[in-house]
């Protein structure tokens, strides 16, 4: 399967714990995006990378969130000191710089903070 | 920033009927409009997209129309089938340096037998 993959698919954590999610994009895609989706809503943009450079961060991304893409391939999203409000589906997508502009999404990581 | 509104929030049609979902956007610089289908527990799946230099695009039973002047675009599904039941999202973006997608709030489509 050459699509976007995410790991883990589900994560249950206690409030105050740190969690880290991984995304592997489609191999030739140099753009990688993180979105967050809460129940009944559309995905909301969090941040994106072009190769290893993080080019934009949403105001939704508090200082407890950090994302990396160290070698321009896979990416990690870490949430420190989780809060109940962080419970959501975290989606990763990838695309090619310069077009075509289609973003392909992974299956997501569902985070539940208890 | 961009704001995308989507209607209706739920839509129930009988198998074989057509379904139409409408979206409006606020940023006149947006030039790329994809539609995604999301099934329960899965990530969004791109089903069709349209760019601002095109007024209509068709792919088998699905079509999308774009009215740049009015800043609205629509998804049309003909001959609906039970497997079309899902949540559909429209989105808008500016292609280029920052091509983040702004999504609508989704339409839950139910195709009944």
Is the predicted pLDDT of residue A1 greater than 60, yes or no? no
Considering chain A, what percentage of its residues have pLDDT values greater than 70? Answer: 96
Nearest residue of B to residue A110 by CA position? B41
Averaged over B35-46, what is the pLDDT?
A: 95
pLDDT of residue A96: 85
SS3 A93: strand
What residues of chain B, 45 to 74, have a C-beta less than 8 Å from chain A?
Answer: 45-46, 49
A101 contact B CB<8A: yes
pLDDT of residue B90: 98
Cα–Cα distance measured from residue A98 to residue B14, given in angstroms and rounded to the nearest whole number: 41
Provide the shortest C-alpha distance from residue A48 to chain B (in Å).
8
Nearest residue of B to residue A91 by CA position? B43
Q: Tokens 């990838």 appear where?
A: A94
A45 contact B CB<8A: yes
pLDDT of residue A87: 97
B10 contact A CB<8A: no
Comparing CB atoms, the residue among B32, B100, B103 nearest residue A33 is B100
User: DSSP of B71-88, one letter per residue?
Assistant: TEEEEEE-S--GGG-EEE
Residues 6+ apart with CB under 8 A from B74: B20, B21, B22, B23, B64, B65
Candidates A1, A26, A42, A67: best to mutate against B (most CBs of B within 10 A) is: A42
From chain B, the residues in CB contact with A57 under 8 A are: none
Provide the shortest C-alpha distance from residue A105 to chain B (in Å).
6
Is B104's CB within 8 Å of A42's CB?
A: yes
The Cβ of residue B83 has, within 10 Å, a number of other Cβ atoms equal to: 8
Is the predicted pLDDT of residue B70 greater than 70, yes or no? yes
Averaged over B59-69, what is the pLDDT?
A: 96
Considering chain A, what percentage of its residues have pLDDT values greater than 90? Answer: 81
pLDDT of residue B53: 84
A34 contact B CB<8A: no
pLDDT digits (tens, 9 = 90+) for A75-110: 999 999 999 999 999 999 999 877 667 999 999 999
pLDDT digits (tens, 9 = 90+) for A19-32: 999 999 999 899 99
Candidates B5, B44, B88: best to mutate against A (most CBs of A within 10 A) is: B44
Is the predicted pLDDT of residue B22 greater than 80, yes or no? yes
Is residue A95 within 8 Å of B99, Cβ to Cβ? yes
Sheet of A19-24: strand order equals A5-7, A19-24, A75-79, A65-68
Sheet of B19-25: strand order equals B4-7, B19-25, B72-77, B62-67, B56-59
Is B42's CB within 8 Å of A41's CB?
A: no
Give the confidence band of B98 by pLDDT, cuts at 50, 70, 90.
low
Is the predicted pLDDT of residue B24 greater than 90, yes or no? yes
């Amino acid at each position: 399967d050459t699509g976007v993959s995410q790991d883990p698919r589900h994560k249950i954590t206690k409030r105050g714990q740190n969690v880290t999610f991984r995304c592997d994009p489609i191999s030739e895609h140099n753009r990688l995006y993180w979105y967050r989706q809460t129940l009944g809503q559309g995905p909301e943009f969090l941040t994106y990378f072009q190769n290893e450079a993080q080019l934009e961060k949403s105001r939704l991304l508090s200082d407890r969130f950090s994302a990396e893409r160290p070698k321009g391939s896979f990416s990690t999203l870490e949430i420190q000191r989780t809060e109940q409000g962080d419970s959501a589906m975290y989606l990763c997508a990838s695309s090619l710089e310069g077009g075509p502009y289609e973003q392909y999404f992974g299956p997501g990581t569902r985070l539940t903070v208890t | 920033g961009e704001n995308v509104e989507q209607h209706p929030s739920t839509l129930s049609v009988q198998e074989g009927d057509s379904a139409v979902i409408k979206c409006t956007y606020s940023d006149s610089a947006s030039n790329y409009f994809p539609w995604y289908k999301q099934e329960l527990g899965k990530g969004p799946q791109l089903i069709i997209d349209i760019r601002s230099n095109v007024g209509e695009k068709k792919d088998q039973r699905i079509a999308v129309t774009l009215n740049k002047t009015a800043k609205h675009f629509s998804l049309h599904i003909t001959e609906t089938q039970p497997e079309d039941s899902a949540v559909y999202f429209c989105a808008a973006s500016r292609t280029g340096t920052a091509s983040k997608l702004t999504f609508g709030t989704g339409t839950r489509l139910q195709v009944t037998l």
